[in-house]
Structure 1
Amino acid sequence: MTQTSTTHPQLFDRTALDLHRARAKRDALFLHDMARDEVEDRLTLVNRSFTRPAIVSGFGEIWENFSPNATIVPDSEVLDLEPGAHDLVIHAMGLHWANDPVGQLIQCRRALSEDGLLLVIMLGGRTLHELRSALAEAETRVMGGLSPRIVPMGEVRDLGGLLQRAGFSLPVADVVPLTVEYRDIVHLIHDLRHMGETNALAQRLKRPCPRQFFVEAEAQYRCHFATENNRLPATFELVCLTGWSPSDKQQQPLRPGSAKMRLAEALKVPETKLPD
């Protein structure tokens, strides 16, 4: 494959991300286990049997027993998926690390056969908002400025719009919130390191921070967010996106004004006119 140069700056350092993931510990990947459970639950609600699934994941071992027919590929910038070969594509816990998320979704759509399902699960906008706030306040106080420390993550409305931009039909986006409590900020950071989810931003600060920075971050975290039992809560927001590859067999919305019956008539209630 011939590599082409990109004209836009890369938000994430994929080499750093790969190194972080290589150091991850299986017993710390509870978010990925939760994501898999969520995917399995949602698929039971779909009145469809999928025989040619593909799974895009940075931790493919978690999905090895998902389906005997599943194709598992890494969430690299160019997905190793054959066009039109799959009736289901699951993009698991990696889209928040994509330099080109719309491009990733378009590649998934091209890998789907007609009327195939895409199911994305990823971290959303409120993830680690407590840590983000504490670190920003501490860095301003101790170091006199700000540097990128936590991945900017999309809000659910914006992420749902990405499905439409990528050409999917019947897009749906919703949120599964989760709060985990930690004894201190060091415990939280160690957990993130063991998940492979530490800072891989291309413009991250690459020199060590003074000890006072972490002392101040701990103080800010406790001041604004500590629970009654003096634990530190950390929010993880799982966003689930679903969309279908276009097909003439799918239900289509009625054109405005094409209804054959008034709403009041259908509900068998008197029609009320609004004042002018």
Structure 2
Amino acid sequence: MDESVIFDRNAVRLHRDRAHASVDSVSDILADAATRLLDRLDDIKHRFARALDVGGRGVVAPMLRARGIETVSCDLSARMAARNGGLAVAADEEWLPFAPGSFDLIVANVSLHWVNDLPGALIQLRRALRPDGLLLASMPILPTLAPLRAALLGAEADLLGGASARISPFPELRDCASLLQRAGFALPVADSDEIHLSYANPLALLNDLRAAGEANAVALRDRRIPPGALFAGTLGRLPQGEDGRIAMPLKLAMMTGWAPSPDQPKPLKPGQFTVRLEDALNAMPDPPSDS
């Protein structure tokens, strides 16, 4: 198998196909993430006319249309794409079918973490933007699902003497801004946000993942049906708080990047500063004394 293939994209599509009928049960989580991401538009004077919603699972497109933005949606799964209403197409994020400069806003809410060539997908998204168009993207980052990952590894090692990949690998926050920069975005920014989730029933966590289309699609996963004792052992290892609930926070990188444009502000080059740092510091007022 090609070492660059981390995810089985056909499995991702099938999981999305199945989840189109169940995703409403986790729409509040997806909507929370989308709201936090789209709140960034409130701080931008730029007005957007045409947006692309990538993998919004029926949540993002209505939010964009409520802001008066004409919205096209795409999803790897045709069934999931149909949930978005309006103009929606089945499209692979790794092979986007849109012409250069088709949109002035692209929103990818918790939808790019199953992509094999993420830098390549980001380059395609940038090309689909008009000059000075904006990308807003959220992506799970470490330590999301870390307790579940550790519990699965421990239970499988005890039961079978080894462990296979069952949780998607996530990047760290520091990787995200560099990915945007590598893809040619101007003014790239990546900061973190966290949605606090907890579960009274350990099985509810697994049910939410399946409902969202987030079942295991790692290419090197074990294709055999796992023994029932594996999940029993896993659920018993998940740490519980004093209230008996299982905390499973969703840590997100919130990413913004602009398609380059000649009109964008440029950072000053070395030697172009008009005021020396020493002079600026000396001009600051002294702090008040304690006396």
Question: If the length of structure 1 is used for normalisation, what is the TM-score?
Answer: 0.88
- Quick one: distance in 2 between partners of 1:138 and 1:124? 23
Structure 1 residue 16 corresponds to structure 2 residue 11: yes
Selected match of 1:44 from 20, 42, 45: 42
Structure 1 runs of 4+ with >4 Å offset:
6-9
Amino acid corresponding to residue 107 of structure 1 in structure 2:
Q
Aligned residue in 1 for 2:55:
57
Q: Which residue number corresponds to residue 236 of structure 1?
A: 250
CA distance in 2: counterparts of 1:202 and 1:29, whole angstroms: 27
Corresponding residue number in structure 2 for 1:174: 191
For residues 3-33 of structure 1, the C-alpha deviation after alignment (integer angstroms, 9 at most, x for no partner) is xxx9654211122212212222112233321
Aligned length: 262
* Residue number among 105, 111, 120 corresponding to 1:103 in the alignment: 120
Q: Distance in 1 between matches of 2:55 and 2:276?
A: 48
Q: Distance in 2 between matches of 1:7 and 1:141?
A: 30
When the two chains are superposed, the root-mean-square deviation of aligned CA atoms in Å is 2.0
Corresponding position of 1:69: 70
Once the two structures are superposed, residues 24-83 of structure 1 have per-residue CA deviations (whole angstroms, 9 ceiling, x without a partner) of 211223332122212321111111100121111162x32342225112122512112221
The aligned counterpart of 2:81 is none
Percent identical residues:
39
Tell me if 1:28 matches 2:39: no
State the partner residue of 1:256: 270
- Aligned mate of 1:89, from 106, 111, 121: 106
SS at match of 1:95: coil
TM-score (norm: length of structure 2): 0.84
CA distance in 1, matches of 2:257, 2:4: 28
Return the alpha-carbon distance in structure 2 between the equivalents of residues 7 and 133 of structure 1.
Answer: 27
2:96 maps to 79
Gapped regions of structure 2 (runs ≥ 5): 77-91, 286-291
* 8 Å CA contact retained: 1:129, 1:235: no
Alpha-carbon shift at residue 89 of structure 1 (Å): 1.2
- Which residue, 110, 113, 121 being the options, matches 2:130? 113
Alignment of 1:79-228 (within 5 A): 79-221=96-238, 225-228=239-242
Go from structure 1 to structure 2 and tell me whether the alpha carbon gap of 1:139 and 1:7 turns closer, same or farther (over 3 Å shift): closer
Q: Separation in 1 of the partners of 2:8 and 2:111? A: 14
Q: Which runs of 5+ in 1 are unaligned?
A: 1-5, 271-276
